[in-house]
Structure 1
Amino acid sequence: MATHPAHCSNFSSFQESLWPVLAAQFPPALLGNGMAIYHLAARERSWHSGIVYSFHLAVSGMLYSLSLPFLAAYYYPPKDWRYGAALCKLERFLFNCNLYGGIFFVTCISLNRYLGIVYPLRVRGRLQPRHAKVLSTVIWVLAAALSAPTFFFSELQEAEGVIECLGSAAPQRLREFYPYSLLLAGLGCGLPFLLTASCYAAIIRTVFRNPHLSQTEKRKVGMLVGAGVALYAFSYLPYHIFRNLNLWRRLLRPGTENCAVSRAIHATTQVCKILVNLNICLQPLLYAALAKTVHNCCGAGCGTGTAAEERAERVELQPAT
């Protein structure tokens, strides 16, 4: 990139090697989320709050997947943005908006499951679909508001005869962009991850203490819940950590950075972005498996033992697909 000294130039070469991966991720991400939307919209007869959040998560994932062909075409060597400044800003905005929208909906699903499994009788009849619809609207507005500064920072930049669509900011705006990026990492990723991990830890504790479930059922729930947390931890968290580390590297005075370290940080940031895309592909499968497993296990005997409590839990313990 043009923002690097001569001995650290041509950072685009690694990105250019990733275009086949981005192209390959597009079909499963689009089809997986599309099938989830179809299943929820066409086959679900009654929409409880978990279904509402899951529907919006699938919409977010499908909209996110639509940016992958543009990104793959952009990375195809020579890396050159051919779609104009307006589409550059729009693509970066949609990337962030659907990224953080997806994270927030994952958090809402986790909180919904936590309340339904850990406190089924307390929330019975209180978690109404209309509440989930209102909260979903708030989430979309919040994600759009957090992503709106992208329209200001993202721009085109000519470098070595090609046009770059900057996903962060130009050198003269980088010191303004860095605090904003840290804010996104904290509010858009760190805090939701802590909430999600805490909710699933409580769910696992409740399930493993349930005397009505077999060890096989408990292990199955534990493995799937652990997979959900691990998928979050190994995609969203590394992406935000290394993106901000890459920005910090760019803020160093010219001539003071180590070229080999800079290349490693930049390459790791790009790999982390690929992992985020992979998460979008796997989310529909994982949440469908988790929903079916927890529903089957809870139908087999979640609760304190009375028939009335078990009937209440069968209503409230249906995780999202």
Structure 2
Amino acid sequence: MGQNIRDCEKTQIAVLPPIFGIEFIVALVGNLFALWLLFTREKRNWHTGVVLSCNLAISDLLYVLTLPLLTVYYSLEKHWVFGEAACKIERFLFTCNLYGSIFFIMAISVNRCVALTCPFFTRSRVEPVHAKLVSVIIWIIVGVISCPVLKFASVFKNSNNRNNTACVSIHNIHENAHFIYKIFLAVFGCLIPFLVTFTSYFVVIRVAWKNVSITALEKRKIAILVTSVVVLYALSFVPYHVFQIYHFYLKGQNQSICWVYNIYQVFKGMASLSMCIHPVLYTALFDSIRVACCGKSPEDNNSIEMRK
């Protein structure tokens, strides 16, 4: 049974402003700190892992700068005061960051898998220039698949909400095309990278735990990395896509179910939460960041860093 969308928006308006506000502070500080350490502590060791992680941090920062706009938008009960161009750019950057994060995490996982399973090939054949080339390809792919957002996103006067100007991902005239586009993003931008990432980490865990030459410190770093990725997918990427598609399907049927809409909005905030978790990924990848945050472990003097 359909429900009044205005009633459904009450939870969204109450929940998203504090979520986006906290995420802005944590993600900005965390990613700037990570970038600073990458450029200072790791500047002489720009192996493939550093290159990919640097691009991941840049992707986060491009979007984190739009979070204050969203905080204001939802604090004003969904009244967009920044103009249509800013609305389109915000939605475009959100899409770029979301799928840029997913693809760079996939690249990092494949990179780690290859490094563990084919260490001699990695040391002799894989160079930072290859990671830079992969990064360029990812940015091109993400930019291309995000471009339709610039067409779909728009602002309009919402007569059901005290004539507030809303910034929306889609207006009614493009609903069918937009739904197909969202399915494409869910499959190409989430499901396929999801399968590649978890296949890679399954291999990583299997090889690492059987390899007696890998130290306990290195195994802990792998465990942190895998756990972080599992948390990212379990709490943000997968449920966000599932409930997003279900919501837009119901919308195409002229239905509104509050619990679906509310869960979709919560997971939209959780998808942005990935920007706060990415610095945890860096702690698993680089000794310089882990030491800066946690201090130097006695095992550091005896361990050999697994380069990607």
Band of TM-score, shorter chain: 0.7 to 0.9
Could you tell me how far apart the structure 2 residues matched to 1:216 and 1:93 are?
A: 40
2:138 matched to which residue of 1? Answer: 139
Q: CA deviation at 1:5?
A: 6.5
Contact 2:35/2:54 (CA < 8 Å) preserved in 1?
A: yes
Label 1:110 to 1:7 Cα distance change in 2 as closer, same or farther (>3 A): closer
Contact 2:80/2:166 (CA < 8 Å) preserved in 1?
A: yes
Aligned counterpart in structure 2 of residue 267 of structure 1, from 262, 271, 279: 262
Label 1:107 to 1:182 Cα distance change in 2 as closer, same or farther (>3 A): same
Are residues 1:121 and 2:120 paired? Answer: yes
1:318 matched to which residue of 2? Answer: 307
Contact 1:212/1:300 (CA < 8 Å) preserved in 2?
A: no
Contact 1:213/1:300 (CA < 8 Å) preserved in 2?
A: no
Q: CA deviation at 1:286?
A: 3.2
Greater alpha carbon shift after TM alignment, 273-282 vs 181-190: 273-282
Give 5+ residue unaligned stretches, structure 1: 302-313
Letter of the aligned partner of 1:282 in structure 2? I
Contact 1:243/1:269 (CA < 8 Å) preserved in 2?
A: yes
Contact 1:196/1:229 (CA < 8 Å) preserved in 2?
A: no
Which TM-score applies when normalising by structure 1? 0.84
Q: CA deviation at 1:43?
A: 2.2
1:50-89 alignment, distance < 5 Å: 50-89=49-88
Could you tell me how far apart the structure 2 residues matched to 1:223 and 1:52 are?
A: 20
Could you tell me how far apart the structure 1 residues matched to 2:221 and 2:125 are?
A: 29
Label 1:51 to 1:182 Cα distance change in 2 as closer, same or farther (>3 A): same
Letter of the aligned partner of 2:89 in structure 1? L
* Percentage identity across paired residues of the two chains: 35
Contact 1:225/1:290 (CA < 8 Å) preserved in 2?
A: no
Q: CA deviation at 1:215?
A: 6.8
Aligned counterpart in structure 2 of residue 22 of structure 1, from 20, 31, 56: 20
Contact 2:155/2:167 (CA < 8 Å) preserved in 1?
A: yes
Deviations 1:63-115 (A, max 9, x none): 12111111111100322001111111111111101211111111111111111
Q: CA deviation at 1:183?
A: 0.6
1:310 matched to which residue of 2? Answer: none
Q: CA deviation at 1:224?
A: 4.3
Structure of higher CA gyration radius: 1
Give 5+ residue unaligned stretches, structure 2: 291-296
Q: Give secondary structure in 2 for the equivalent of 1:278.
A: helix
Q: CA deviation at 1:273?
A: 1.2
Q: CA deviation at 1:282?
A: 1.5
2:29 matched to which residue of 1? Answer: 31
Q: CA deviation at 1:276?
A: 1.3
Q: CA deviation at 1:210?
A: 1.5
Could you tell me how far apart the structure 2 residues matched to 1:198 and 1:299 are?
A: 32
Q: Give secondary structure in 2 for the equivalent of 1:46.
A: coil
Q: CA deviation at 1:231?
A: 2.2
Greater alpha carbon shift after TM alignment, 226-235 vs 130-139: 226-235
Could you tell me how far apart the structure 1 residues matched to 2:145 and 2:177 are?
A: 15
Could you tell me how far apart the structure 1 residues matched to 2:301 and 2:244 are?
A: 43
Greater alpha carbon shift after TM alignment, 225-234 vs 202-211: 225-234
Label 1:215 to 1:84 Cα distance change in 2 as closer, same or farther (>3 A): closer
1:101 matched to which residue of 2? Answer: 100
Q: Give secondary structure in 2 for the equivalent of 1:11.
A: helix
Aligned counterpart in structure 2 of residue 165 of structure 1, from 167, 185, 201: 167
Which TM-score applies when normalising by structure 2? 0.88
Greater alpha carbon shift after TM alignment, 8-17 vs 131-140: 8-17
**Aligned pair count?**
294
Could you tell me how far apart the structure 1 residues matched to 2:243 and 2:301 are?
A: 42
Could you tell me how far apart the structure 2 residues matched to 1:186 and 1:279 are?
A: 19
Could you tell me how far apart the structure 2 residues matched to 1:217 and 1:110 are?
A: 15
